[in-house]
Amino acid sequence: MSAPQYLDLPIDYESLTKVGSMMGSGGMIVMDEKTCMVDIARFFLSFTQDESCGKCTPCRLGTQRMLETLTRITQGQGREGDIELLLEMGKGIKDASLCGLGQTCPNPVLSTIAHFRSEYEAHIGGNIVRPEPAKPWSSPPAKTPARFAATLSAMPRSSRRAVMKRLCPSSA
């Protein structure tokens, strides 16, 4: 969800579906205006990409290419045409993947482009250059992506899936 027009949106199945979101398991992540949505998209795609079983090419390779592109953008090396490339790859992966993971894993990228395109443009235009991707959560420190990723990596695969499903229903 983004933007002022959604602030009063009822949190129920029909309302969320109407604006292209989903209820999932009912979890909700609240971020402030300092959160970089490009970093957030990269963060979620990195987990779902890691979960790809590799059976079908669009999911296996497409998510890798999307992740590489997002990483370049967040490191200040974005190029003209990267947004269009991400849109094309995301739609292709959704259309051509066999299971729900591939069909939904581009969603964080597609929805952040749809609702926060100016943030992508600012990165690519050189107005935001960071030596390394910013932390999606500034506090508490224990929830920074690096620590969070380390915690998740140490979990058994089944537990990791359960955590990601709660955080990002589209990854289920």
Q: According to CB under 6 A, which one of 1, 23, 31, 56 is a site residue for ligand SF4? A: 56
Residues 60-79 binding ligand SF4 (CB under 6 A) are: 60
Calpha distance 102→27 (Å, rounded): 21
Retrieve residue 160's tokens.
């990791």
| Residue of 63, 75, 145 whose CA lies nearest to 109 | 63
CA R_g for the chain: 16
- E strands, 44-126, are none
Of 65 and 115, nearer to ligand SF4 (C-beta) is: 65
Q: According to CB under 6 A, which one of 19, 29, 53, 129 is a site residue for ligand SF4? A: 53
Calpha distance 54→37 (Å, rounded): 27
Of 102 and 145, nearer to ligand SF4 (C-beta) is: 102
> Could you give the angle at the alpha carbon of 121 between the alpha carbons of 115 and 126, nearest 5°?
150
Retrieve residue 22's tokens.
């989903």
Cβ of residue 54: shortest distance to ligand SF4, in angstroms? 5
Q: Does 59 bind ligand SF4 (CB under 6 A)?
A: yes
Residue span 82-121 as binding mask against ligand SF4, x where in contact by CB under 6 A, dash where not: ---------------xxx-xx-------------------
**Interacting residues with ligand SF4 (CB under 6 A):** 52-56, 59-60, 97-99, 101-102
